[in-house]
Structure 1
Amino acid sequence: MINDGFRDSSEDERRAEIIARLRDLYPGTARELCELDFSTPFQLLAATILSAQCTDKRVNMVTPKLFESYGTPTLLASADIVDVEEIIKSTGFYHNKAKNLIAMARSVLEGGGELPNEMEGLSSLAGVGRKTANVVLSVAFDKPGLPVDTHVMRLSKLLGFTTLSDPVKIELELNEMVPPRDRGALSLRMILHGRAVCVARKPRCHACALADLCPAFIALAKD
């Protein structure tokens, strides 16, 4: 049922209510909401690289063996690429992923062996872009970081958070809607909601707790 009261309220109030409902639906910190398995920030970075075009469930199936053999920068940097490819093959694009993993580990060693804990350092590593860096910042280091993936982009538009298409610009817009400490959790809540309810191919609008505040659903309900 559409809540006319919220439709007449300000955009800031509407967005704040959506964010509050997402927090209620998916409580916890970014670390608690993350579905990738890892023991160290370095392992999270490796798992995040593997998660490109792949489900977290599948990544979690291959990382135990990967981390058992190559769970540190030193071990992964000297790994046999064919062996890494064989371990991660089921995650897809395994040639490029294996190459990126080993190059990333070598970059970490060249930087002194410690994984950077800020955007500039992380994004300077081989194979690491802004989205991946934001995952590590928010989940592993409990720092402000808002990863914008396809779920976040799609939900941001459907929920009326943005009209933009550039991930960095969307990130900056979303940053203004929550305190810095909540940025990573907001991203993960939107991802979880996109996976469970606002599914791209067949959104479950009538089971969505955000429907009465969602411009996309309200427009659909008018038709």
Structure 2
Amino acid sequence: MNIYEQCYRQLKQSGQQAWTGEGYERAWRKLTAILQALSKKHVLPAPGSVCLELGCGNGAMASLFMARAGYQVYGVDISPTAIGWAQETFSTAGLAADFQQGDVCTLGMYHDHQFDLVFDGSCLHCLIGDQRQRCYRQIKRILKPNGVFIVSSMCGQPKRPEDRQHYRAEKYQLMRQGQPWRTLMPLPRLTAELAASGFIAFKTSVSENPWWDHATLCCRLI
């Protein structure tokens, strides 16, 4: 059982609302404010467009916002429990979405140029090493030529002393129990990685936190 499946089982059993646990309301407010601002600035495609959330979890974050706003929503997550939970929640709420269990590095269930918007549901920073390039290649394949890829990622360096002790700066990796746990890049390095992978960031914002910062990068294909 992978760590994400284990976590989602525990979250559902304990009655939490999403991956963020007790921090859900705060996370939801921040995400909603970001997506509303992007919509007002016409960064998001028009309602009715086809959108995919990578690492959608139980569907309680970007997928929920987009479905309520009238988008055609797809979501993928590695956890079967999360996907089943998302399907149950959306069915109960009378919302439509296509949620599938799968690996964001191998998105063979989706067609070339299928999506107007691919939204990183704080999934990219969970990918380590060559997983990131594999994911980028899939996004390039499934995104429409004029589509938008929105990255929502940890960035900068860890700020808490206990995290700094476990940060491998040469590889931009935060360690946990001796294993790479998160990719935590400075914003210029993340932007450069995206450019080298075929994406140009045309709008960037950073939310500062006491633990590490969080960046939102709106990208198009180069």
TM range (shorter): under 0.3
Larger radius of gyration: 1
- Larger helix fraction of residues: 1
Q: TM (normalized to structure 1)? A: 0.27
Q: TM (normalized to structure 2)? A: 0.27
- Larger strand fraction of residues: 2
